[in-house]
């Protein structure tokens, strides 16, 4: 495996890493898109090392497939302010990264797959819906629910998993978490700036407005290339049943997998699902079976003459 630093050119330059396998060139490739927030090319946040993109890149290289991953605007070595970028800016950035990857001499431009985790999956679906020239799309922990509805659903899932002292304080203060989220949405909807202060914190208001208004099903209905969608049975940030929505919307071949005990971090969690367990989960690597499934599927998508079993 060899990793090469590169830059995605444009009005908002992006710093990235091209990961090349030890194989005869040119090779097929996967363009990796990370989740929401200020994540770097490896899918890491300064407070949480998700490390999804890096581990996927290395697993793909072991399977003879190259990959490109990049720092978001204003993160890592990419200049700018991540709070000022909207959801649709993320799709545009992914499109520029695809153009950069297709132009590399080491890459077979006709054998590129888009793969995204969480928000990255939403961006991958949006770019594929634009007709991007790709051989397939991998959607990891992707929501197929309209944004505002999803955020309120998340509040309902997360509230019962909060530590007992926090739940007790919310009851004492008579705070309904879902109602509080809805009230914040109303305040954000009235903003007009890229960045706004809500509840004392500076937030990426334009991204939130665009996310709340976004319906991923519209993009899914315009996808005609093969799709692999994987979600965990213990995901508190994405509805596991959205896999059925993906399968019913996509026009191309669809393979869906619901992985028991897998959470939004793409690690497995014993016992009841709780976001409080993320810190412990992130000490472990990304689920090995998930990595294998993605590598094998991408290998089939980029070598269409090789037969591949599917569980649609």
Please report which confidence band the pLDDT of residue 274 belongs to, taking 50, 70 and 90 as the band edges. Answer: confident
Please report which confidence band the pLDDT of residue 140 belongs to, taking 50, 70 and 90 as the band edges. Answer: very high
Please report the DSSP string for 113-167 in residue order. EEEEETHHHHHHHHHHHTT---SEEEEES---S-HHHHHHHHHHHHGGGS-HHHH
Please report which confidence band the pLDDT of residue 238 belongs to, taking 50, 70 and 90 as the band edges. Answer: very high
Q: Going by C-beta distance under 8 Å and a sequence separation of 6 or more, which residues neighbour residue 129?
A: 218, 219, 220, 221, 222, 223
Predicted TM-score (pTM) above 0.85 = yes
- Report CA torsion sign: 276, 278, 284, 286: positive
- Asked if residue 308 has pLDDT above 50, the reply is no
Q: What is the pLDDT of residue 169?
A: 53
> Average pLDDT of the chain?
91
pLDDT digits (tens, 9 = 90+) for 206-220: 999 999 999 999 999
pLDDT digits (tens, 9 = 90+) for 154-195: 888 776 666 555 555 545 555 566 677 778 888 899 999 999
- Hey, which of 18-27, 160-169, 192-201 has the most confident mean pLDDT? 18-27
- How far apart CA 158 and CA 237 sit, in angstroms, is 8
Please report which confidence band the pLDDT of residue 307 belongs to, taking 50, 70 and 90 as the band edges. Answer: very low
User: What share of the chain in percent tops pLDDT 90?
Assistant: 77
Q: What is the pLDDT of residue 166?
A: 53
Place of tokens 């305040």: 187
- Asked if residue 5 has pLDDT above 80, the reply is yes
- Asked if residue 125 has pLDDT above 70, the reply is yes
Q: What is the pLDDT of residue 149?
A: 92
């Amino acid at each position: 495996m060899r990793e090469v630093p590169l830059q995605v050119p444009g009005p908002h330059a992006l710093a990235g890493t091209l990961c090349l396998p030890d194989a005869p060139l040119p090779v097929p490739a996967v363009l990796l898109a990370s989740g929401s927030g200020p994540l770097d090319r490896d899918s890491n946040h300064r407070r949480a090392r998700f490390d999804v993109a890096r581990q996927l890149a290395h697993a793909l290289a072991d399977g003879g497939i190259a990959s490109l991953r990049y720092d978001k605007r204003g993160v890592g070595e990419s200049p700018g302010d991540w709070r000022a970028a909207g959801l649709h800016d993320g799709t545009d950035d992914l499109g520029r990264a695809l153009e950069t990857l297709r132009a590399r001499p080491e890459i077979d431009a006709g054998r590129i797959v888009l793969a995204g985790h969480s928000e990255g999956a939403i961006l991958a679906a949006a770019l594929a819906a634009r007709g991007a020239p790709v051989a397939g799309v991998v959607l990891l922990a992707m929501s197929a629910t309209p944004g505002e509805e999803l955020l309120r659903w998340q509040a309902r899932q997360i509230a019962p998993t909060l530590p007992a002292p926090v739940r007790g304080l919310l009851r004492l203060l008579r705070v309904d978490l879902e109602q509080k989220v809805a009230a914040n949405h109303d305040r954000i909807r009235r903003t007009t700036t890229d960045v706004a202060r809500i509840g004392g914190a500076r937030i990426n208001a334009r991204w939130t407005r665009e996310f709340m208004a976004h319906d991923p099903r519209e993009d899914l209905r315009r996808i005609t290339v093969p799709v692999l969608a994987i979600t965990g049975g213990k995901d508190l940030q994405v509805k596991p049943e959205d896999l059925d929505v993906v399968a019913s919307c996509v026009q191309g071949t669809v393979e869906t997998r619901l992985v028991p005990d897998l959470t939004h971090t793409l690690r497995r969690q014993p016992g009841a699902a709780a976001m409080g367990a993320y810190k412990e989960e992130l000490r472990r690597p990304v689920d090995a079976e998930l990595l294998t499934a993605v590598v094998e599927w991408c290998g089939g998508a980029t070598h269409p003459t090789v037969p591949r079993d599917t569980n649609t």
